[in-house]
């Protein structure tokens, strides 16, 4: 598990609190369905104890912006 | 205040990379006032260079990848001097990635090693430990002994020493691979018999074939290994991938080892790593071909492919299937099938996106076509300023009263006219 998180291809994943989640949705005037998704079984979020509907903040290393922030909502893997 | 502090104040408005570029390129002796001027100019320029809302970036991406794509070569490229190992590049590789193919033509890995090995220590041995070795590769010959109803295997001692295996290791792996057999060792020959004695020669023959394919050592699916020196350290290139098992090995640097199989990366490292892998793989091909495609376009495609939490190709089974509009799906591939399915399910097309609006000849929601006109309507007042409300109200009331009066007059006039005319008719 630790090995995966240290891998160069894997950016930092962080779970948003309910309050942060609400602020995010208000900021962009969107519902949670508009966010890109991440499966609950995704290897990179196994240590975060997530449930469906949680929002994951991802700090990507970007070649164009240095660091960019992306959000994904946790969905069940059908 | 130092220049750094002034620039850091703008960290919310500027991305990290521009801030770092600014810090690097500022002259050493500069007044605070000038720093502020420069930063403000940069902020202004940055905001101007941002893409406008409702710009159709997808079309720009399609053109920017498609046009240089016509110049791509169709052949595969060989590793330096080693003809046995070639890798698909160019257009076939791009198509492979964007289609989201599960079985790619040339799966391969770049395996980075930990310290003493990365400097070249025992590199041959390490490479052979990775390679999937079957019994037929370390055996000199297989005999069938008809008299004893057994298979005799003569081992290749040289090959065994090279990999660092003993005869006992081989016996163990044979026992692990095939159940219900007995293995005896004599000199360098292993004698394999079935526990249940048989007279059937066919069974012994099939046992021999099975024995040839027994997995002895290494990592499964790694067919070929090639140690090379790259940027001052030894790495191992392999054909065939098995990211999960390779990362478990103690001599492998598990933080940098990668595979070119996007789905394997997704399975082992997650969707974000898969997105990054798509970008790197496509960009690598573009650069090998000497094409200058901005990485932003590739990032957009990769984001679209990974938006649903799993890697989806740009095919009718992948991201096109997720489209909400029936007409948009039908316009891509297999229109009859899409429309038939939609009519069976009673789907509704709300004409919210681009293609379907082109089809029905309406303005498309792109660029200036996207924003709609919104007017805030308050009861009793349309437009106007705040104090105007009462004036208008009284005016409106007056005009309304006047109109009522006018209408009353009109009705009375017409009545009298009608009365007159009826009278004249009577006279006639």
Nearest to A7 among B255, B296, B299 (CB): B255
- The whole-angstrom separation of Cα B312 and Cα B277 is 14
Structure token pair of residue B330: 């039908």
What string of DSSP letters covers B58-71?
HHHHHHHHHHHHTT
User: pLDDT digit string (tens) for A19-55?
Assistant: 999 999 999 999 999 999 999 999 999 999 899 999 9
The answer to whether residues B22 and B35 touch, using CB atoms and an 8 Å cutoff, is no
pLDDT, position B167:
82
Domain boundaries, chain B: 3-49, 133-217
- Is B269's CB within 8 Å of A7's CB? yes
Which pairing describes strands B189-194 and B108-112: parallel, antiparallel, or unpaired? unpaired
pLDDT, position A57:
96
- The whole-angstrom separation of Cα A72 and Cα B306 is 11
3 state DSSP class of B350: coil
Structure token pair of residue A5: 């998180």
Q: B140-162 burial, b if ≥16 CB within 10 A, otherwise e?
A: eebeeeeeebbbbbebeeeebee
The answer to whether residues B89 and B288 touch, using CB atoms and an 8 Å cutoff, is yes
pLDDT, position A52:
92
pLDDT, position B335:
94
Domain at A2-75, CATH homologous superfamily: RPB5-like RNA polymerase subunit (3.90.940.20)
Structure token pair of residue B144: 């069938």
DSSP 8-class letter at B360: T
- The whole-angstrom separation of Cα B156 and Cα B123 is 22
Which is nearest to B227 in space by CA: B131, B116, B115, B87?
B131
Q: B255-264 burial, b if ≥16 CB within 10 A, otherwise e?
A: eebbbbbbbb
Structure token pair of residue B175: 């026992």
- Positions of chain B with pLDDT lower than 70, given as ranges: 1, 75-85, 380-396, 405-428
Taking CA B212 as the corner, what is the angle to CA B209 and CA B213, rounded to the nearest 5 degrees? 100
The answer to whether residues B254 and A3 touch, using CB atoms and an 8 Å cutoff, is yes
Percent of chain A with pLDDT over 90: 81
Chain A nearest CA to B191, separation (Å): 43
Interface-testing mutation among B19, B249, B272, with chain A (most A C-beta atoms within 10 A):
B272
DSSP 8-class letter at B250: T
Structure token pair of residue A40: 């609950």
CATH of domain B133-217: 3.30.1360
- Is A8's CB within 8 Å of B15's CB? no
Q: How far is CA B424 from CA B411, B412, B421, B427, in A?
A: 20, 18, 5, 5
pLDDT, position B27:
85
E strands of B231-330, at which residues?
Answer: 233-239, 258-259
- CB neighbour list of residue B61: distance below 8 Å, 6 or more residues apart: B297, B300, B301
Interface-testing mutation among A13, A42, A52, with chain B (most B C-beta atoms within 10 A):
A42
pLDDT, position B427:
46
From B258, which residue of chain A is nearest by alpha-carbon distance?
A9
- The whole-angstrom separation of Cα B384 and Cα B331 is 47
pLDDT, position B371:
86
pLDDT, position B145:
82
What is the CA B428 to chain-centroid distance, rounded? 95
Q: Which residue in this structure is represented by tokens 């990999």?
A: B163
Nearest to B309 among A39, A63, A65 (CB): A39
Which is nearest to B316 in space by CA: B285, B294, B300, B338?
B338
For chains A and B, what is the number of CB pairs under 8 angstroms? 85
Residues of A in contact with B19 (CB under 8 A): 66
pLDDT, position B428:
42
More confident residue, A59 or B415: A59
């Amino acid at each position: 598990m630790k090995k995966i998180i240290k891998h160069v291809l894997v950016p930092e994943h962080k779970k948003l609190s309910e309050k942060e989640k609400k602020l995010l949705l208000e900021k962009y005037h969107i519902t949670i369905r508009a966010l890109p998704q991440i499966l609950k079984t995704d290897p990179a979020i196994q240590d975060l104890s997530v449930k469906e509907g949680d929002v994951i903040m991802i700090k990507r290393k970007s070649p164009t912006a240095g660091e960019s922030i992306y959000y994904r909502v946790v969905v069940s893997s059908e | 205040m130092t220049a750094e502090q002034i620039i850091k104040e703008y960290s919310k408005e500027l991305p990290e990379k521009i801030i770092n570029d600014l810090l690097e390129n500022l002259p050493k002796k500069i007044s605070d006032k000038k720093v502020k001027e420069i930063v403000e100019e940069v902020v202004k320029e940055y905001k101007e260079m941002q893409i406008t809302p409702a710009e159709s970036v997808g079309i720009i991406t399609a053109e920017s990848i498609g046009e240089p794509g016509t110049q791509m070569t169709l052949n595969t490229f060989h590793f330096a001097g080693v003809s046995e190992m070639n890798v698909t590049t160019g257009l076939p590789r791009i198509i492979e990635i964007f289609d989201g193919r599960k079985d790619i033509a040339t799966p391969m890995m770049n395996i980075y090693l930990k310290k003493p090995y990365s400097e070249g220590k025992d590199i041959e041995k390490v490479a052979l430990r990775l390679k999937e070795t079957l019994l037929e590769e370390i055996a000199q010959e297989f005999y069938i002994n008809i008299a004893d109803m057994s298979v005799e295997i003569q081992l290749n001692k040289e090959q065994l020493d090279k990999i660092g295996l003993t005869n006992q290791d081989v016996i163990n792996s044979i026992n692990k691979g095939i159940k219900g057999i007995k293995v005896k060792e004599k000199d360098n020959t292993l004698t394999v018999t079935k526990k249940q004695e048989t007279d059937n020669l066919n069974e012994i023959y099939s046992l021999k074939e099975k024995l040839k394919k027994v997995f002895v050592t290494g990592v499964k699916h790694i067919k070929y290994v090639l140690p090379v020196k790259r940027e001052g350290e030894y790495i191992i290139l392999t054909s065939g991938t098995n990211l999960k098992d390779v990362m478990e090995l103690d001599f492998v640097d598990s933080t940098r080892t990668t595979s070119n199989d996007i789905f394997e990366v997704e399975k082992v490292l997650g969707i974000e790593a898969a997105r990054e892998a798509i970008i790197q793989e496509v960009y690598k091909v573009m650069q090998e071909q000497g094409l200058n495609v901005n990485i932003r376009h590739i990032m957009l495609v990769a984001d679209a492919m990974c938006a649903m939490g799993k890697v989806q190709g740009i095919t009718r089974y992948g991201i096109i299937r997720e489209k909400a509009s029936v007409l948009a799906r039908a316009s891509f591939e297999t229109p009859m099938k899409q429309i038939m399915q939609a009519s069976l399910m009673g789907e509704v097309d709300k004409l919210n996106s681009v293609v379907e609006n082109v089809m029905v000849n309406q303005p498309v929601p792109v660029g200036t076509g996207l924003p709609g006109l919104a007017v805030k309507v308050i009861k009793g007042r349309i437009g106007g300023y705040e104090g105007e409300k009462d004036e208008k109200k009284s005016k409106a009331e007056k005009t309304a009263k006047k109109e009522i009066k006018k209408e009353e007059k009109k009705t009375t006039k017409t009545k009298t006219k009608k009365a007159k005319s009826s009278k004249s008719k009577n006279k006639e």
